[in-house]
Amino acid sequence: MTDNSIRTTDGRGRLYDSVLDTIGNTPAIRINNLAPEGVTIYVKAEFFNPGASVKDRLAVNIIEAAERSGKLKPGQTVVEATSGNTGIGLAMVCAQKGYPLVVTMADSFSVERRRLMRMLGAKVVLTPRAEKGFGMYRKAAELAEKHGWFLARQFETEANANIHAATTAREVLGDFDGHKLDYLVTGYGTGGTVTGLGRVLRKERPEIKIILTEPANAQLVGSGHAQERTAEHAPASSHPAFEPHPIQGWTPDFIPAVLQEAIDGGLYDDLIPVAGADGIHWARELAGREGIFTGISGGSTFAVSQKIAETAPAGSVILCMLPDTGERYLSTPLFEGIAEDMNEDEMKISQSTPGYQMG
């Protein structure tokens, strides 16, 4: 676009049968103001999904895979444990397809996530924060067994990594076809993103170094301590290395079976921990200096991308996964210090002309 031309759009060249058909094909966006000199950073903005997070991909595939296999019957209630984004994605999918949904969630997660799921028609059952992710997980399993509901099993199901191999990885390959890409940075919640990406990129773009990150004060993978599991590959207990952390959606208090495939299969090249405060800082920097509004998890992957960029060879290209939108974090530390009322500078601007001033 030239300086004196207006932006134009031509439509997508198709009509959509439902909101679910708009999931995926999220853009890789260049960072223009925050990337160190000599290094190019792109972010894959998963908040362009209709439910505003990467978990829309997982949600639609869990339901559709269960429909195909016959495990999910028409009108059957779906139940799942989630910190929010998977629940929001499932609520969207279930609303469109007509399935009742019950979500179990520890009461430590942001209030806006509960309200979004309820807005989309789901019922949200809160569990005590002291029981952590394992508690909400066990509650969902209890409810499924008691009532004959379909348990989504995002932490174990093959549908999780499969959708990232079929969509997320293919989008990366398509967007960077003919272009250099040296590093891809992602965190983990269930592990589906890194596992699905790793399966495909290891074969088709083996030169790309996949960097996994987790909270510095909850290094489950970094601890080297194996996760205890049941015969169904579900977690048998809370992981001893877990501590509460501010990066919602990342690192439950167990290592998911989906992530275990990436660990055992060597589907990433390095593991770099990140402090929650750094994630908050870089989420704010992305918003204020790039106009890119992501959550603490996105800020955390971007913090690690910046760390890699500091020592990467000149000309390196980095792709950073941004899992969701900053609007999921309005009641979290991400928005601490962001005032509702006018500050001193804003009052001065208001008072610089005589009319329409607040009393």
What amino acid positions are annotated as catalytic residues? Answer: 55, 297
Please provide the distance, in angstroms rounded to a whole number, between the alpha carbons at the two ends of the chain. Answer: 45
Please spell the DSSP secondary structure of 240-289, one letter per residue.
TT----S-TTS--SS--HHHHHHHHTT--SEEEEE-HHHHHHHHHHHHHH
Calculate the CA 138 to chain-centre distance.
22
Identify the DSSP state of 325: B
Residue 83, CA distances (Å) to 53, 59, 126, 267, 307 in order: 12, 14, 11, 25, 27
Residue 285 contacts residue 296 (beta carbons within 8 Å): no
Question: Which residue bears the tokens 């984004």?
Answer: 85
- Name residue 321's beta-bridge partners: 44
Residue 161 contacts residue 261 (beta carbons within 8 Å): yes
